[in-house]
Amino acid sequence: MRDITDIADVKKRFLAYLTLEKGMSANTAQAYSDDVDKLMRYLSGSGVGVEHASTDDLERFVCSLQDVGIQPRSQARIISGVKGFYKFLRLEGFMDKDPTELLPSPKIGRHLPEVLTIAEIDAMIDCIDMSKAEGQRNRAIIETLYGCGLRVSELVTLKLSQLFIEEKYVIIQGKGNKQRVVPISTVAIEQINLYLEQTRSHQVVKKGSEDILFLNRRGAMLTRQMIFHIVKQLCELAGIRKVISPHTLRHSFATHLLEGGANLRAIQQMLGHESITTTEIYVHIDRTRLRDEILRYHPRNNNQ
């Protein structure tokens, strides 16, 4: 075992390990690095080097996360980042043993995500101001998010060269740089074509964004924050009270497919889930909604 003499260099190599060897996106790798920063700040208060931390030290660190009100789901993510770092330290010869092997993660109850109804999605689309320059672009964005079940990061990086209009599918670069083929609806295709003809073809495109499908007013790639703002604003205009994000449209896409009779394996492939277990949450959503419908409409549950 050797001591760490240059922690900045070790962290830089850790980021490279996550992106190049583990295939993580830059955003996920940076989140792991931020988690390690949290741990290091905590350990520095006790005068303990990160390579000398014991399981007891790490358990106290987890308790400190609870003390400041960090929720179990966020705690689990931070612990995952810390475990990844210690695995890397062992590989690099800084640790003989991994102190995170016996570190428990907090129990997380299954959280059922919010889902929009088809009527609510239509109401959002109806609230788009088509007289504005960005109106047609925003219409195409919502139809693509919902019609293909994309993650927001997949939407903002979607390239023209990944779009096959005639064949009605798109190639999506998902997590871990894994590609998947996703069918695209006729409605989404129509709105994208209108956007390309009416808006994008008249824009001055910034260097480096020539192949990006959805552009901002300055001709550059949109940010994830901008997509979040568009979705949130449309929900407010439509009078929707649910707490939603662009990811809600992805959840709605999967739920509506399942309700329509789609095979769970097919939904898994379209969403790009590595494990079918992740996709199975939509079965729980479907059952929960069925239960609500029964309680609302069955005559034995009608108190009127």
For the chain, give the percent of residues with pLDDT over 70: 86
**pLDDT value at residue 278:** 61
Least confident of 180-194, 227-241, 279-293: 279-293
> Is the pLDDT score of 294 beyond 60?
no
52, 180, 247, 289: the active-site residue: 247
Residues 255, 282 contacting (CB under 8 angstroms): yes
22, 175, 180, 289: the active-site residue: 175
For this structure, is 38 an active site residue?
Answer: no
Least confident of 34-38, 60-64, 65-69, 165-169: 65-69
**pLDDT value at residue 304:** 46
Delineate the domains of the chain, giving CATH numbers in brackets: 7-91 (1.10.150.130), 118-296 (1.10.443.10)
Report, as an integer, the average pLDDT of 240-247.
88
For the chain, give the percent of residues with pLDDT over 90: 32
> Is the pLDDT score of 299 beyond 60?
no
Per-residue pLDDT tens for 257-278?
A: 877 777 777 778 788 777 666 6
Going by DSSP bridges, is the β-strand pair 163-164/169-173 parallel, antiparallel, or unpaired? antiparallel
Between the alpha carbon of residue 173 and those of residues 34, 105, 137, 157, 189, the distances in Å are 24, 30, 21, 8, 19
> Is the pLDDT score of 168 beyond 70?
yes
What is the C-alpha separation between 174 and 172, in angstroms, rounded?
Answer: 6
For this structure, is 273 an active site residue?
Answer: yes
137, 250, 251, 256: the active-site residue: 250
For this structure, is 247 an active site residue?
Answer: yes
**pLDDT value at residue 22:** 80
Least confident of 89-93, 129-133, 295-299: 295-299
For this structure, is 250 an active site residue?
Answer: yes
Least confident of 17-26, 67-76, 223-232: 67-76
pTM of the model: 0.61
200, 251, 256, 273: the active-site residue: 273
CB-count burial class (<10 Å; 0-12, 13-18, 19+) for 295: exposed
Residue type, 114: E
Report, as an integer, the average pLDDT of 119-143.
96
For this structure, is 146 an active site residue?
Answer: no
> Is the pLDDT score of 152 beyond 70?
yes
Report, as an integer, the average pLDDT of 3-32.
84
pLDDT confidence of 171, banded at 50, 70, 90? Answer: very high
Residue type, 66: Q
151, 200, 251, 256: the active-site residue: 151
For this structure, is 111 an active site residue?
Answer: no
pLDDT confidence of 51, banded at 50, 70, 90? Answer: confident
- Mean pLDDT across the chain: 84
**pLDDT value at residue 127:** 97
Residues with Cβ within 8 Å of residue 304, at least 6 apart in sequence:
none
Report, as an integer, the average pLDDT of 190-206.
95
**Cα Rg, the chain, nearest whole Å:** 23
Report, as an integer, the average pLDDT of 132-157.
93
